Amino acid sequence: STTERKLRTLHGDAGGSGKKWGKMVWNAALRRGLMCVLALWLGFTSAPCKARIYTNHWAVRINGGPVFADRIADKYGYKNMGQIGDLKDHYHFFHSRTIKRSTLSSRGGHSFLSMESKVEWIQQQVVKRRIKRDYKTSPAQSIFFNDAKWSSMWYIHCNDDIHNCQSDMNIVGAWKRGYTGKDVVITILDDGIERNHPDLIQNYDNQASYDVNGNDMDPMPRYDASNENKHGTRCAGEVAASANNSHCTVGIAYNARIGGVRMLDGDVTDMVEAKSLSLQPQHIDIYSASWGPDDDGKTVDGPASLARQAFENGIRMGRKGRGSIFVWASGNGGRSRDHCSCDGYTNSIYTISISSTAESGRKPWYLEECSSTLTTTYSSGENYDRKIITTDLRQRCTDSHTGTSASAPMAAGIIALALEANPLLSWRDVQHIIVKTSRAGHLNAPDWKTNAAGYNVSHLYGFGLMDAEAMVKEAERWKQVPAQHICVESADRQIRTIRPEHVVRSVYKATGCIDNSNHHVIYLEHVIVRITITHPRRGDLSINLTSPSGTKSQLLGNRLFDHSMEGFKNWEFMTTHCWGEKAAGDWILEIHDSPSQLRSQKVPGKLKEWSLVLYGTSVHPYSSLRSDKPRSAEPPSSIPFLSFSLFLYGDNIFLLCLCPILLPLSPRRCRTCVSECPSGFFRDDRKRCKKCSSLCETCVGSRSDQCSTCRPGFHLNEDGQCVIRCQGGRYAMERQCHLCHHTCQECDDGGPDNCTSCDKDFMSLIIKRMCVSPDGECVEQCKEGFFVDEESQECEPCHRMCRTCGGPNYDDCDSCEDDFTLKDGECVDNHSASFMFSSVKPPSPLPSCPMCRGYPKGGECQPCAPECASCLGNATHCLSCETQYLLLEHSCRGHCPEGHYPNERVCLRCPPDCIECSQDGLCKGKAAARGVEVEGVRVKGGGGDVSHSTKRSTFFLISSIQP
């Protein structure tokens, strides 16, 4: 055959040329490997060397069916593991003689395989880092269950006065209408599911389950001493735990069928994700995922080609053409100031991105903000807030499930109730119903706004809290929305320079593809912005998009820890905030560059190109319904009222308006109609404007602790109150109180890291950042060249002749700089024995930052080493480093050594026995001890109390590892 001739040519009939070719391949691979090692040693993070681990698994597209796939696999020494999920002509090949995990891609058989005429595409699978999204750390009810934890399930029903229950998701109301999830199938994509759990066994669905990690039908989790793989079982119990079985808990859809896919307990590759996302799409209705890329505030990642195809196939063909429902947790990167628009899973139009709120309606500390979030359910908040009750490993239950991990399964259960009410709902119908029925209620957010279609929407909570009863009622009478149109507007390729402290503004006049009836969009659903930007520090960028109707979406916020120079290459940002608005008109893109101190401002960024993709319909989506008004708000009216009548009540005259909201006007209590309540008022349940507390600018109730935003001069605290000063470990910014860094007990208004006192349980000293910033940073002990001032308990610099000093005075030297000798506790100049401290005047204060680029010697300022931004005593005794370096023990390095982690350009030591830890100092890899090896401790749900202290989190991780 042609392929055999190619192979003979490559190998050589006599063997000589084949050996030469093989040697060339080996040499090339070796050179590439050595380059990676060299690059890592030098601290570079170029694309080929950045966390790329190749496996011995391949995804192959072969035309001709499984017979040809088996034949080709056998021919080259592979094993065909079968079709990849529901992806036609895509096969999973495994090669047992290839290294399981390698930094080098395979070249030999891989190259030959691609030459087969039936092989259309081949890809060696790469390990992808994926994180589970939880965090370690009334009237009598007419419905009652005998399950032990039923009375404590606050997020399903409010039955006590102790916690001042304000609002629930009306799940009991949906149950009363007869909907419990019957005949709906949900699967949990996670680390497995304990199928024999007493609360799960009755509803367990074997057909909706699979072990992708083990390549078998049993999704039982892998057990260990730390119960690491409890996450999937916890999520499953929220959805479909059996009711009234006297065991533990009750699922939201307690008669639904529940399955599980074990896919997170091993190497996660594109193929693993695709297999999971495309499992049994004609049988499974809802896929729930509470994981994603690292929520570390610096990662930009999303689904690769196979996973994208699985999403598209599921939407197009799943559920007999109505479309699979993908529910996704929005992310837990709030503490790292992450932005979920940098997560390609939650940022997809095919997923329903779920946010979290605490029981009180306040923003949880882990919450990420972005414009792609669709809706919200309950989860944990602060330490004192109640958490989620659900099933746990070893046939137990837990009351400490946390994070957005807990919110996504809750939403999946509510959607199951709606699908039981109307099984014919399409994937877009489900999203429309969620948008129409979600409500702002008591959810506190400073950015609630009403878009031009009349919907309340927020970057924290999407369209608000889910309402199960409203959803099933809407589903009962729902008529399918018109066909989706996709309008891809022309790209704007004019290159614009992004200068520090400036805003780049680009206006695009969209037509909504009016010239093409098959793509014409008038009424919007999702809007995508595809953008390419080059920039020296990606985290300094923020991006806003304003619709023709004036609705502004923040596509990207500043990310403190994102030091990447990669920018964005054709990245897709998505917003739902324009839902229901008109597509045609001027769209305004604004990019703001806020340079941090960690980057040189000499190199500006560039906006290379951007374009709009508009999704929606060419006719009104609800024209066939009895009412097209959203529940979250009423459409604004351009006239004061529609009609009115007067009536008397005692001495008062009332104006009766047939309009959305009534506003009291005068001492005589006359009223007029407005489209929305003005500043200082809130809308009550009777559609009347009531006064907020005097310090509130906007609010959700009349009490002083129900403010949403504050009047100028005041700041919104965590209790919903407006205060003059933020207290309790918080600082003021943009009229809000924000948490200080976890190492600070208190900080000033300059930012979370500007400590004024330290956490007494963790840190004890403040070091002054000389020539870096005038602010404080909490540390465990003073660095070399500093000593503890006993009065102020701050780290003060030693005398310039001291390398180290122990105090209590700055000239009590323990060791000396070069050219000086220690004698009787004093540093003596080697060139002049009589030159003692007694004859030396105290050093003058260090010059300010613009001047502090060297060190004084001989009456002149000598330059620091090139890698040092500032130094003391000699050129290599660095106090701070240039942008591309990290400070460790007064030397500047390209990367932190083992046992350390980078934090704000400084290498800090990991906890004891920890060989690898995260940006926050949380242990990710522990040194082998007593025969134990831990290969990556993930953040996961309910594993311990939610904690804001790195020390407490670290203690939990260490204590959970047993021999």
Residue-wise pLDDT for 406-448, tens only, equals: 999 999 999 999 999 999 999 999 999 999 999 998 999 999 9
Check residues 507 and 399 and name the one with the higher pLDDT: 507
- Which one of 190, 199, 343, 540 is the catalytic residue? 190
For β-strands 730-733 and 388-392, DSSP reports them as: unpaired
pLDDT of residue 671: 63
Segment among 163-172, 178-187, 566-575 with least mean pLDDT:
163-172
Q: Where are the beta strands (DSSP E) in 711-844?
A: 715-716, 722-723, 730-733, 736-739, 744-747, 755-758, 765-768, 776-779, 786-788, 794-797, 802-805, 813-816, 820-823, 826-829
Please classify residue 573 by burial: count the beta carbons closer than 10 Å to its beta carbon, then call 0-12 exposed, 13-18 middle and 19+ buried.
buried
Q: Which CATH number fits domain 138-476: 3.65.10.10, 1.25.40.10, 3.40.1640.10, 3.40.50.200?
A: 3.40.50.200
The reply to whether 231 belongs to the active site is: yes
Residue 869 banded pLDDT, cuts 50, 70, 90: confident
- Averaged pLDDT, 304-325: 96
Element (H, E) at 870: strand 868-871
The reply to whether 190 belongs to the active site is: yes
Percentage of the chain with pLDDT > 90? 44
- Which one of 276, 336, 405, 407 is the catalytic residue? 405
Q: Is the pTM of this model over 0.85?
A: no
- Which segment, 83-92, 459-468, 816-825, 946-955, is predicted with the most confidence on average? 459-468
Q: Which CATH topology does 2-126 take?
A: Alpha-Beta Plaits (3.30.70)
Could you report the per-residue pLDDT of 239-274, keeping only the tens digit for each? 999 998 878 899 999 999 999 999 999 999 999 999
Q: Are 551 and 527 in contact, with CB atoms under 8 Å apart?
A: no
Check residues 646 and 725 and name the one with the higher pLDDT: 725
Q: Are 799 and 810 in contact, with CB atoms under 8 Å apart?
A: yes
Residue 838 banded pLDDT, cuts 50, 70, 90: very low
Residues 367, 371, 377, 378, Cα dihedral to 10°: 20
Please name the residues in contact with 349: beta carbons below 8 A apart, sequence gap of 6 or more: 525, 526, 528, 574, 615
Residue 386 banded pLDDT, cuts 50, 70, 90: confident
pLDDT of residue 925: 67
Q: Is the pLDDT of residue 494 over 90?
A: yes
pLDDT of residue 135: 56
Q: Are 773 and 790 in contact, with CB atoms under 8 Å apart?
A: no
pLDDT of residue 537: 93
Length of the chain: 963
Residue 708 banded pLDDT, cuts 50, 70, 90: confident
Which residues is 85 bridged to in the sheet? none
Q: Where are the domains of the chain?
A: 2-126, 138-476, 485-617, 883-963
Residue 799 banded pLDDT, cuts 50, 70, 90: confident
- Averaged pLDDT, 805-818: 79
Residue 644 banded pLDDT, cuts 50, 70, 90: very low
pLDDT of residue 875: 79
- Averaged pLDDT, 71-92: 91
Query: CA of 337: how far to CAs of 332, 369, 514, 630, 738, in Å?
Result: 10, 9, 40, 32, 12
Distance CA 153, CA 413 (A): 15
Could you report the per-residue pLDDT of 168-217, keeping only the tens digit for each? 799 999 999 999 999 999 999 999 999 999 999 999 999 999 999 999 99
Which residues is 886 bridged to in the sheet? 893
pLDDT of residue 787: 79
Question: Minimal CA–CA distance to 346: which of 337, 357, 336, 338?
Answer: 338
Could you report the per-residue pLDDT of 645-698, keeping only the tens digit for each? 333 333 333 334 444 455 554 444 456 677 678 888 888 766 788 888 888 888
% helix, strand, coil for the chain, step of 5: 15, 30, 55
Distance CA 95, CA 110 (A): 10
Check residues 27 and 296 and name the one with the higher pLDDT: 296
Residue 896 banded pLDDT, cuts 50, 70, 90: confident
pLDDT of residue 317: 95
Which residues is 710 bridged to in the sheet? 696
Check residues 853 and 406 and name the one with the higher pLDDT: 406
- Which one of 231, 247, 485, 577 is the catalytic residue? 231
pLDDT of residue 905: 78
pLDDT of residue 47: 39
Segment among 56-65, 618-627, 861-870 with least mean pLDDT:
618-627
pLDDT of residue 879: 81
Q: Is the pLDDT of residue 599 over 80?
A: no
The reply to whether 96 belongs to the active site is: no
Distance CA 727, CA 799 (A): 37
Residue with tokens 């960690």: 598
Mean residue pLDDT of the chain comes to 79
Residue 166 banded pLDDT, cuts 50, 70, 90: low
Q: Which CATH topology does 485-617 take?
A: Jelly Rolls (2.60.120)
pLDDT of residue 16: 43
